[in-house]
Amino acid sequence: MSTPTITPSPLDRTAVQARVEAALDEFLGDKAESAAAAGLPADVVDAVRSFLFAGGKRIRPLFCVLGWYAGGGGEPTDAVLRTAAAVELFHAATLIHDDIIDDSDTRRGQPTVHRAVADRTRAARDHGAATRFGAHAALLIGDFGLVWSQELLHTAGLSAAQMAAAAPILDVMRTEVNYGQYLDLTTTGQPTHDLDRALEIIRYKTAAYTVQRPLQLGAALTGAGPEVAQALSDYGQPLGEAFQLQDDLLGVFGDPAQTGKSNIDDLREGKHTVLLALALRHATPDQRAQLDTLIGNSRLTEHEAARCRQILAATARPKVEQMIRDRWLQVQRTLAHAPFPPTAIAGLRSMADAVIARTS
Amino acid sequence: MSTPTITPSPLDRTAVQARVEAALDEFLGDKAESAAAAGLPADVVDAVRSFLFAGGKRIRPLFCVLGWYAGGGGEPTDAVLRTAAAVELFHAATLIHDDIIDDSDTRRGQPTVHRAVADRTRAARDHGAATRFGAHAALLIGDFGLVWSQELLHTAGLSAAQMAAAAPILDVMRTEVNYGQYLDLTTTGQPTHDLDRALEIIRYKTAAYTVQRPLQLGAALTGAGPEVAQALSDYGQPLGEAFQLQDDLLGVFGDPAQTGKSNIDDLREGKHTVLLALALRHATPDQRAQLDTLIGNSRLTEHEAARCRQILAATARPKVEQMIRDRWLQVQRTLAHAPFPPTAIAGLRSMADAVIARTS
């Protein structure tokens, strides 16, 4: 149970990513071996592995490790890295289910799990049956991811005290992201100018889940107290909101070749994003009528999508960009007074810049 | 965090069920309160609660408590009952997902979760959109069940030693049931006379998950050693197989008014059951041709289902009933020499009788 001993500096994101990936690879290797020994199909492990290694920025593991540094931890142990890897595996499971719900065809530039399974089975089934089979297999593959992330966590080698500190944060995190997904589902297709609800979705679905909780998890593993947890929250919440606001912009204005995902799906589904809420709020009556007709139309053409982008760019994009900048400034103010070691501050500052400036 | 202090004897199934339900009720009450405090929709907790309290025999919690007695535990503590309740919550989540995969309309005599959600939303969406929304909401509601079962487990009040003993059993159990579901999915609609594969599905999907692992979980909480675990396996595996064989019979020959579930869905889906494998093996060419045409036809009429039942009754039902009796005898032989206290033996014997004789 050893992972390669690459030594990361707090800012060496590549090294952290490599150690997380090694932990995932080792865990899935064990799962593949036991499946083979029991005569069970290899496709479950293969699907989870392909999904995990098709890409992904490992942003939650990186924040987990940064939380560890912020709490005063030194060189992160293998147990910390495996805990971070467990969060990444949980995330993969969440995305596999999310792709079913959004009926997305691609993720990380590859076919989504449900789509890949459906495509493989089209020779043997009619179109509708293959599509259903793909969704149902992916549902189960996501369930495997959820239970395996739990197994990876409690075989990570954490002490009983670390487990006890980590568990409540993970419980809150998992409930929050599920509520975020649920709010997302129930509002999709019925976007309104309700900015508060759009921000609430962001907070549950991303700000807490992607940034704040992984940071607090890492800090909890050092035994850090509430002052550190609070400062990480003051850093993580605005940064997480900025991350999702940026994601919403990329989901409409991004280049699929760079982001690895469609820039038309959000419009076709009618995602209740801050971008759209602001557009509906500030549109002229004519623009608003056009948005009402076009957004949420599952057969939206590229030409109609371009028209949507024009209206969104004119009415809301600069406002969203301003919101991102405001949050970035809030992050800077937090870091100026945060009770973290200098290396942690440097790492957190560099992650914040990367999150804000990202194009994929 | 107290549950009512009803004192169960090892055979008092009603008392155990009541304590498990009290633990679930309390946990979900806390979840409802925090959702309300955060302005989150109440429907997630409501859906999980309705599903859990629409019925269910609490068979896994009962086996968990019986395992505790078998390991020499005395009166089960609240922590043991909460652990048993966590298994029941995991099971509810698994069933919610299973019902999506099987496209089942009813469970426990009530609309399934995805169906209930779809029905509630039909006024606002067209038929297809409402059906998809129901499936997607139920997928997330099942995910809530999965993560909440984990939270209920590690807030159950177990000692660190008990947690360490329980975790590997739960990991194995969760992986096994997922593989069982996966095998079930990949073979459904393509039933064959492959009896070994049908038995393998039963072992993963039910024998281990419903009987053997819950028993071993309860025993692990007492600190019992491998001899007890082995004897529980020798009891649990055949009993679990008998349980599923009985379930397959009820799924075809049962009275929906008593079982609370359809007696035609398995035929329409073409479930790869032992019953069907044996029928395909022992049918005359004419019977086999009829089964090949009828089984797996999603529009099977009641009249055609009656024809299937006739053929299955003539070719396979007595053989399945004999398999159930063989397993029951194996259970009796194990109990005659098992290293369990007399009260545990009595409880295990009575559960075995109830499982074999059940009509619902």
A101 CB neighbour count, 10 Å cutoff:
22
> Using the beta-carbon criterion (under 8 Å), do B100 and A136 form an inter-chain contact?
yes
> For B51-101, how does the pLDDT look when each residue is reduced to its tens digit (9 = 90+)?
999 988 899 999 999 999 999 998 999 999 999 999 999 999 999 999 999
pLDDT at B7: 39
B contacts of A99 (beta carbons < 8 Å): none
CATH number for the A13-357 domain, one of 1.10.3720.10, 3.30.70.1560, 3.40.50.300, 1.10.600.10? 1.10.600.10
**Using 50, 70 and 90 to split pLDDT, how confident is the model at A125?**
confident
* pLDDT tens by residue, A228-244: 999 999 999 999 999 99
Decide if A298 touches B, using CB distance below 8 A.
no
From chain A, pick out residues whose CB is under 8 angstroms from the CB of B140.
97, 101, 178, 181-182, 185
DSSP type of residue B111: E
pLDDT tens per residue, range A242-269: 999 999 999 999 998 888 778 998 899 8
Using a CB-CB cut-off of 8 Å, the residues of chain B touching A44 are 178-179, 182
| Alpha-carbon gap: A135 to the closest alpha carbon of chain B (Å) | 9
Half-sphere exposure of B42 (CA within 13 A, CB side): 7
Prediction ipTM score: 0.92
Share of chain A above pLDDT 70, in %: 96
| Architecture of the domain defined by B159-360 | Orthogonal Bundle (1.10)
Q: A110 φ, ψ to 5°?
A: -120, 165
The closest CB to that of A167, out of B154, B175, B183, belongs to B154
Q: Are B291 and B279 in contact (CB under 8 A)?
A: yes
Contacts of A357 (CB under 8 A, 6+ apart): none
Nearest C-alpha neighbor of B274 from the set B294, B256, B299, B251: B251
Residues 194-213 of B with CB under 8 A from A: 200
Q: Give residue for tokens 């994009």.
A: A317
Element housing B122 (H / E): none
The DSSP code sequence of A209-276 is IIIIHHHHHHHHHHT--HHHHHHHHHHHHHHHHHHHHHHHHHHHHS-HHHHSS-SSHHHHHT---HHH
Choose the weakest-confidence range: A44-58, A99-113, B164-178, B281-295.
Answer: A99-113
Q: For the residues A206-234, what does the mean pLDDT come to?
A: 96
CA distance A129 to B134: 18
Please tell me the distance in Å from B344's CA to the nearest CA on chain A. Answer: 31
A179 contacts in B (CB within 8 Å)? Answer: 35, 40, 44
Segment B19-24 mean pLDDT: 98
Assign 3-state DSSP to chain B and report helix, strand, coil percentages, each to 5: 75, 0, 25
Nearest CA in chain A to B100: A136
- Tell me whether domains B1-158 and B159-360 share a fold: yes
For residue B259, pLDDT over 90 is answered with: no
CA B11, CA A254: separation in Å to the nearest integer? Answer: 64
Report residue B38: phi and psi, to 5°. -95, 5
CB contacts, 8 Å: B187 with chain A: none
Residue B297 at interface with chain A, using a CB cutoff of 8 Å: no
Contact B117, B47 (CB under 8 A): yes
Kindly compute the dihedral angle of the four CA atoms of residues B248, B252, B256, B260, in this order, to the nearest 10 degrees. Answer: 20
pLDDT at A109 over 90: no
Query: C-alpha B281: how far from its chain's center?
Result: 28
Asked if A174 reaches chain B (Cβ–Cβ under 8 Å), the answer is yes
pLDDT band at B138 (very low <50, low <70, confident <90, very high): very high
The beta strand positions in chain B, using DSSP E, are: 106-107, 110-111
pLDDT over threshold 60, residue A4? no
Q: Which of A169-178, B19-28, B254-263 has the lowest mean pLDDT?
A: B254-263
- Which CATH superfamily is B1-158 part of? Farnesyl Diphosphate Synthase (1.10.600.10)
User: Where are chain A's structural domains?
Assistant: 13-357
Q: What share of chain A is helix, strand, coil (3-state, %, to 5)?
A: 75, 0, 25
Contacts of A344 (CB under 8 A, 6+ apart): A10, A66, A69, A70
